[in-house]
Amino acid sequence: MAVAARTDHFAEKLALALERAQMSRAAVAREVGIDKSVVARWVAGQVHPTEHSLIALTEVLARRLPGFTLGHWRLAETDFAARIGEAPPAPPQGLLANATAWTAPGLDRAFASYGGLWLFLYDSVRVHRLFGMVCEIRAGEGVLEAEVRDDENWHGRGPAFALHGKLWMTLEEVQHRDSFGFGCFWGTTRGKAEILDGLAMVREFAPSAAPGATHVAAFRLADPLVDPEASAARYQAAVARVARLNQGVWEEVLPAGFAEGLRKSVSSLGATLRLGVETSLAVNEFDLKPAEAPEGPRRVALSLLRGLFRDVTG
């Protein structure tokens, strides 16, 4: 029997826990790895989570509610409320919070413009040919939500913001939580976008873990579906299809000259960048002095730049 089946007033406890943890249903769904409609049914008391989902949910909440365990769910509702304590202080308002506030009023229009299933194509520095990824853009709570995947190397989720004719994405890699992806695309100021064109940045999944940026063209494959289960099934099927097409097929599938045009656009923009550790200027305070003499370029540059701001930094 699932643990959740023995939990009285689970919906009320979950709603309180989300409030105390200051988490939205969409954020919980993203971290647990389920569709947000499932979390909505939990909060509404329509269904209880399976034991596996309850364990994952508890782990997510424990990151924000120290000491929170599976045993908390079995407490009486009043004891549950007392045990998890007062709501934590509100986090500082940063860039993503501001972007959400700016874009929330226009969410319906943004979803009409960008919502749906997309194909991302880019000239891969690693394999030196066109490579594809699938992106689904959904309507979240006050923000668009993007999920990008190629089924082999990268799977990211995160918010997307429509601002002044551009679409911005900030994605967290699902399997490697120390990796993020960022994108900025030329989009549309009216109507539904069919093709997006922009730049994306991730790190390589290679021993060097070098940052890399490239030109990406995005093509709308389909409009959004209302049924979340049908949408999820379509997304997985598209990912499987892209995995096959990534075996060097794009150049054969696309119209004559089109694939080469995408690849030429990269070189003409000069937008494919790679910063390997062997050429990086990055260094920490412990390595700088042993690595360079006092007249070394990094030490001299650092000294000069600090001098320019000495009256500000004190």
3-state SS, one letter per residue, for 107-170? HHHHHHHHCEEEEEEEEECCCCEEEEEEEEEEECCCCEEEEEECCCCCEEEEEEEEECCEEEEE
Q: pLDDT tens-digit profile of 147-173?
A: 999 876 788 999 999 988 889 999 988
Q: pLDDT tens-digit profile of 189-238?
A: 778 888 888 888 887 666 667 777 888 888 888 899 988 888 888 999 88
Higher pLDDT, 267 or 182: 182
Q: pLDDT tens-digit profile of 22-49?
A: 888 888 888 888 988 899 899 888 888 9
Residue 153: the pLDDT is 75
pLDDT at 280 over 70: no
Q: How confident is the model at residue 93 (pLDDT cuts 50, 70, 90)?
A: low
pLDDT at 253 over 80: no
Q: CA nearest 58: which of 101, 100, 107, 7?
A: 7
In angstroms, rounded to a whole number, what is the distance separating the alpha carbons of residues 46 and 220? 35
Residue 4: the pLDDT is 43
| Complete domains list, the chain, with CATH | 3-84 (1.10.260.40), 96-274 (2.40.128), 281-314 (no CATH)
Residue 201: the pLDDT is 87
Q: How confident is the model at residue 135 (pLDDT cuts 50, 70, 90)?
A: very high
In angstroms, rounded to a whole number, what is the distance separating the alpha carbons of residues 119 and 242? 9
Structure tokens that stand for 55 in this block: 């364990």
Mean per-residue pLDDT for 52-74? Answer: 89
Percent of the chain with pLDDT over 70: 76
**Cβ contact 147:235 at 8 Å:** yes
Is this structure's pTM higher than 0.95?
no
Residue 287: the pLDDT is 77
Arithmetic mean of pLDDT over the chain: 79
In angstroms, rounded to a whole number, what is the distance separating the alpha carbons of residues 111 and 118? 13
pLDDT at 174 over 50: yes
